[in-house]
């Protein structure tokens, strides 16, 4: 039996356990995806306590909905969609939905101090890039994270964020351009932003 | 540019690597608390289902009583006909079978509204009683 088939079998068995309401399997499910759900909540601007509430609601909705999960989308995509819906619902309920506008209020750039180009490849890259992403409008940030970090396709992102694929392409294009500006300002012109 | 992927350059590779290295902080005991909450929700759901079954059963019994009184008052002839069509004894059963069936059909045709209501109420009562017995067996 090939590794791929074995993994699929394992995955199917795990899904079967999840659907049957097995608590141990669901604990594994939470462990596997909790970071992702918290990331979704915080990306949309929820504070720690709010993010925990929404994450709990997300997993509860997933627990109830797993029986209906047909496997058409990846499990992670399905859960991202639930988390996104829950977080947006929370913001709407608390009249903070306007925080999700897709335009930047102002461009906050890093310090103009020049640093060597090598810095972009260093251990600090992650932190600096993350700080740059944090400055993006929330919907752009969400699209950038889903695309680059989670490796989702544009169709999947559109499905998660319940919008058109062209809108996602615009978010990604504009987010990428803004990130280039921010990182170029942080590292000086030495940063390689090659296409 | 494909339908689902953008062109990927050096910048994108760096960004991808950088974002993948980010670790999102999660409360340490989140999984345990989440599992306790799920167990609590499940228990509440089972309790709510049991209460609903008990209420349905009670409603069924009350409805049966009301239906019996209403049918005796509103459709006295039909009730009498129904009871008369029931064989008085097992010996008579065979003799009156054909006659009884034709009479029953006639009775149903002449009082179909009554039988429709009766069937509905009867079905509900059977469901409520079955629900009550199943709930007790759980």
pLDDT computed for residue A187 by the predictor: 72
B9-36 average pLDDT score: 89
- Of A130-139, A174-183, B68-77, B80-89, where does mean pLDDT reach its minimum? B80-89
User: Which pLDDT belongs to residue A101?
Assistant: 66
Q: How many residues does chain B have?
A: 138
Count the neighbouring beta carbons within 10 Å of the beta carbon of residue B11: 18
CATH number of A3-99: 1.10.1740.10
Residues 16-55 of A with CB under 8 A from B: 21, 23, 26-27, 30-31, 34-36, 38-39, 42, 52, 55
Q: What number is the ipTM of this complex? A: 0.76
* A94 inside 8 A of chain B by CB: no
pLDDT in tens, A118-132: 444 556 777 888 889
Averaged pLDDT score across all residues of chain B: 78
State which residue of chain B sits closest to A41, comparing Cα positions: B24
- Give pLDDT, residue A115: 43
Q: Hey, where are the domains in chain A?
A: 3-99, 101-190
Give pLDDT < 70 ranges for chain A. 1-4, 7, 97-123, 188-195
Residue among B11, B27, B33 whose CB faces A194 most closely: B11
Contact at CB, B19 and A144, closer than 8 angstroms: yes
pLDDT of residue B37: 93
Chain centre distance of CA B63 = 17
pLDDT digits (tens, 9 = 90+) for B90-120: 556 666 666 777 777 777 777 787 788 878 8
CB contact under 8 A, B35 and A194: no
| Minimum Cα–Cα distance from B40: chain A residue | A60
CB contact under 8 A, B11 and A126: no
Rounded to a whole number of angstroms, the distance from the CA of B50 to the nearest CA of chain A is 19
What is the reported pTM?
A: 0.68
Chosen from B20, B22, B27, B45 to mutate, greatest number of chain A CBs within 10 A: B22
Residues of A in contact with B26 (CB under 8 A): 34-35, 38
User: What's the CATH class of domain A101-190?
Assistant: mainly alpha
Q: What is the DSSP string of chain A?
A: --HHHHHHHHHHHHHHHHHTT-HHHHHHHHHHHHHHHHHHHHHTT--HHHHHHHHHHHHHHHHHHGGG--SSS-HHHHHHHHHHHHHHHHHHHTT-GGGG-SS-SS----------GGGGGSTTHHHHHHHHHHTS-HHHHHHHIIIIIS---HHHHHHHHTS-HHHHHHHHHHHHHHHHHHHHHHHGGGS----
What integer pLDDT is reported at residue B5 of this predicted model? 61
Give A130's contacts in chain B (Cβ within 8 Å). 18-19, 22
Of B7, B19, B21, the CB nearest to A145: B19
* In chain A, residues 113-152 whose CB comes closer than 8 Å to chain B: 120-121, 125-126, 128-130, 133, 144-145, 147-149
């Amino acid at each position: 039996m090939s590794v791929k088939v074995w993994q699929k079998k394992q995955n199917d068995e795990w899904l079967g356990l999840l659907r049957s309401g097995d608590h141990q399997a669901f604990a594994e499910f939470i462990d596997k995806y909790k970071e992702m759900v918290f990331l979704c909540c915080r990306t949309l601007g929820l504070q720690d306590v709010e993010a925990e509430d929404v994450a709990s609601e997300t997993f509860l909705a997933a627990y109830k909905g797993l029986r209906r999960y047909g496997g058409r989308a990846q499990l992670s995509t399905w859960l991202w969609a639930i988390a996104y819906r829950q977080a947006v619902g929370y913001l709407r309920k608390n009249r903070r939905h306007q925080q999700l506008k897709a335009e930047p209020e102002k461009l906050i750039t890093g310090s103009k101090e020049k640093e060597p180009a090598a810095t972009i490849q260093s251990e600090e890259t992650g932190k600096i890039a993350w700080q740059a992403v944090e400055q993006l409008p929330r919907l752009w940030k969400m699209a950038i994270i889903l695309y680059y970090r989670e490796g989702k396709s544009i169709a999947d992102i559109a499905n998660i964020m319940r919008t058109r694929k062209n809108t996602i392409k615009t978010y990604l294009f504009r987010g990428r351009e803004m990130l280039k500006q921010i990182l170029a300002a942080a590292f000086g012109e030495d940063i390689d932003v090659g296409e | 540019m494909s339908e689902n992927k953008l062109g990927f350059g050096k910048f994108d590779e760096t960004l991808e690597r950088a974002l993948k290295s980010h670790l999102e902080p999660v409360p340490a005991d989140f999984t345990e608390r989440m599992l306790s909450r799920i167990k609590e929700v499940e228990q509440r759901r089972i309790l709510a289902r049991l209460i609903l079954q008990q209420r349905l059963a009670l409603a069924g019994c009350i409805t049966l009583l009301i239906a019996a009184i209403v049918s005796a008052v509103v459709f006295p002839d039909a009730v009498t006909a129904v009871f008369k069509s029931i064989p008085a004894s097992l010996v008579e059963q065979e003799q009156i079978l054909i006659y009884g069936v034709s009479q029953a059909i006639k009775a149903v045709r002449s009082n179909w509204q009554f039988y429709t209501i009766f069937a509905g109420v009867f079905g509900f009562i059977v469901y409520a009683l079955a629900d009550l017995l199943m709930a007790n067996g759980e």
